[in-house]
Amino acid sequence: MRIRTIKPEFFLHEELFNSEKETKLPLRVAFAGLWCAADREGRFKWEPRRLGIQILPYDGADFSRVLDALTTRAFIVRYVCGTGVFGFIPSFPKHQIINNRERNSDLPDPSQCVQNEGIDAWGTRGARDDDAGKAEGKGKEQGRERNKEQG
């Protein structure tokens, strides 16, 4: 983890706030925490368990869901190079001033890799409505009647 800065405008980021409320996940703290996990180019290893322990050690949040939520909302990019999976924060260079003593990135450049490979956003969606589809005659009752006729 590295020392990073947060500009006061971060706390007014309405899109990030709305995303957090929509997903009910701690996206604001996680996003700022990813800055500390990222190298000088805004790149990090896509290791949800390790990142979750480093960034949200007491929350018990499923950090893979946090990463997917940030990805589907374009705050971060997931990419695959060879057998490795990595993340990239596109806005990172715009908001961070990097200490010249920080070593160069040893992670692959996302522009040379496959981006958003294998993202499954199901974990960021809300729970399914149990009553969905009943108005069209597709509910549980119709299924029970069909089972009685067949059995």
Which residues, at least 6 apart from 16, have a Cβ–Cβ distance to it below 8 Å? 27, 28, 31, 75
Per-residue pLDDT of the chain (151 residues; tens, 9 = 90+): 988 989 999 999 999 999 999 999 999 999 999 999 999 999 999 999 999 999 999 998 999 999 999 999 999 999 999 889 999 999 998 888 888 888 888 898 888 887 765 544 444 444 444 444 444 444 444 444 444 455 5
Please give the Cα distance from 76 to 32 (Å, whole number): 12
pLDDT at 132: 45
CB 86 within 8 A of CB 108: yes
Q: What is the pTM of this model?
A: 0.73
Task: Find tokens 């990463």 and name the residue.
Answer: 67
Task: Give 41-59 pLDDT, tens digit per residue.
Answer: 999 999 999 999 999 999 9
